[in-house]
């Protein structure tokens, strides 16, 4: 299988992860306007599954290092498979809660609470499990990225018509999202071996692990997304029959979104060998700032923002870049 040994290349892959995780939601804008997110999400989960399978059959089955994709899956222990499946289910719940938190409380609450909490929890949990890199430097980098997320949310709060209320429901959803989003990655990492030259029996390489994770996302969708359809946090219930009313182009947008996110997750796990799980996760969760870039430069979401917002955005990007730099340096110092 294709294996990364170089730390600079691992950083590049993590940056691509950021781009993918921060960009997949744009495909939602390509679907028809009345297409509910719950319906879009079925195709998204399918896209993640198909992409990880394709990478396993190609990159995961080429080369001479490590076990091939099929052999890796065949020897995986029940504990390893169960851990990766659980990671997929936890991520799926967190992702759906994030969308619900945005709909109920707005981005100004959901992102600093949900994604900020996820970033801090995820890095701490993964660093304690596999302490690679300079801990203090990594901590400062994570705090700077978290500050950037808070500044981003503050800027969104200034937009005309932005959600203003800090409801208990919105706050609870955001906190729950942050806790689950911060925990899912550890379960996938726990299913993986560290050295491709001496793979641990029963554990999986990145291609098999991310595919099993994607199976967990897809299967858990029948629980979490079905509940979201029947008991939506916002809007009226939606039926399964509505899914089959979408045309090919509409379904393709969701699959494309899942493929983009799946590329990011796959590359992140591939990079985790030389980078370490804490740094890989921390860099990947910088995706919030990529999403902010789309909003600022492409969708022009701040065109009507009041004076002074540009200073917040400048401080946000400066904090983000500084934090990323420290996270990257934490593995080399």
Q: Would you state the pLDDT for residue 165?
A: 53
Asked if the structure places residue 2 within a domain, the reply is no
- CA 137, chain centre distance (Å): 23
d(CA 23, CA 48) in angstroms, rounded, equals: 14
d(CA 120, CA 35) in angstroms, rounded, equals: 34
- The distance between the two most distant Cα atoms of the chain, rounded to a whole number of Å, is 60
The phi and psi torsions of 289 (rounded to 5 degrees) equal -75, -30
d(CA 140, CA 148) in angstroms, rounded, equals: 12
Asked if the structure places residue 172 within a domain, the reply is yes
pLDDT digits (tens, 9 = 90+) for 181-232: 999 999 999 999 987 778 889 999 999 999 999 999 999 999 999 999 999 9
Asked if the structure places residue 1 within a domain, the reply is no
The phi and psi torsions of 204 (rounded to 5 degrees) equal -115, 155
pLDDT digits (tens, 9 = 90+) for 23-55: 999 999 899 989 999 999 999 999 999 999 999
pTM for the model: 0.94
Which domain covers residue 97, as residue numbers? 7-329
Q: Burial level of 2, CB count in 10 A (0-12/13-18/19+)? A: middle
Asked if the structure places residue 15 within a domain, the reply is yes
195 compared with 6, residue with greater pLDDT: 6
d(CA 127, CA 123) in angstroms, rounded, equals: 6
Say how many domains are in the chain: 1
Asked if the structure places residue 81 within a domain, the reply is yes
d(CA 148, CA 324) in angstroms, rounded, equals: 11
């Amino acid at each position: 299988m294709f294996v990364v040994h170089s730390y600079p290349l691992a950083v590049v892959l993590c940056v691509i992860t950021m781009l993918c995780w921060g960009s997949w939601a744009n495909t939602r804008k390509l679907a028809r306007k009345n297409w509910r997110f719950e319906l879009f999400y079925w195709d998204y989960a399918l896209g993640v599954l198909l992409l990880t399978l394709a990478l396993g059959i190609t990159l995961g089955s080429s080369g001479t290092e490590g076990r091939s994709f099929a052999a890796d899956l065949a020897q995986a222990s029940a504990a390893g498979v169960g851990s990766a499946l659980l990671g997929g289910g936890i991520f799926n719940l967190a992702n759906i809660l994030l969308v619900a938190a945005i709909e109920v409380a707005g981005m100004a609450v959901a992102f600093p609470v949900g994604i900020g909490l996820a970033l801090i929890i995820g890095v701490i949990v993964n660093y304690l499990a596999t302490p690679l890199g300079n801990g203090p430097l990594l901590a400062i980098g994570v705090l700077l990225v978290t500050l950037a997320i808070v500044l981003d949310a503050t800027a969104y709060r200034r937009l005309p018509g932005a959600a203003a209320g800090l409801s208990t429901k919105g706050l609870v959803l955001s906190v729950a999202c942050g806790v689950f989003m911060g925990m899912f990655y550890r379960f996938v990492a726990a299913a993986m071996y560290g050295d491709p030259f001496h793979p641990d029996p029963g554990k999986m390489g990145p291609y098999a692990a991310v595919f099993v994770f994607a199976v967990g996302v897809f299967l858990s969708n029948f629980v979490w997304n079905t509940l979201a359809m029947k008991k939506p946090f916002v809007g009226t219930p939606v039926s399964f029959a509505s899914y089959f009313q979408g045309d090919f182009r509409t379904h393709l947008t969701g699959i494309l979104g899942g493929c983009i996110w799946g590329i990011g997750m796959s590359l992140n796990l591939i990079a985790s060998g030389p980078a370490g799980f804490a740094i890989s996760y921390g860099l990947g969760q910088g995706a919030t700032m990529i999403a902010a870039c789309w909003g600022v430069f492409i969708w022009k979401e701040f065109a009507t923002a009041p004076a002074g917002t540009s200073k917040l955005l400048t401080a946000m990007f400066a904090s983000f870049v500084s934090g990323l730099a420290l996270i990257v340096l934490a593995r080399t110092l």
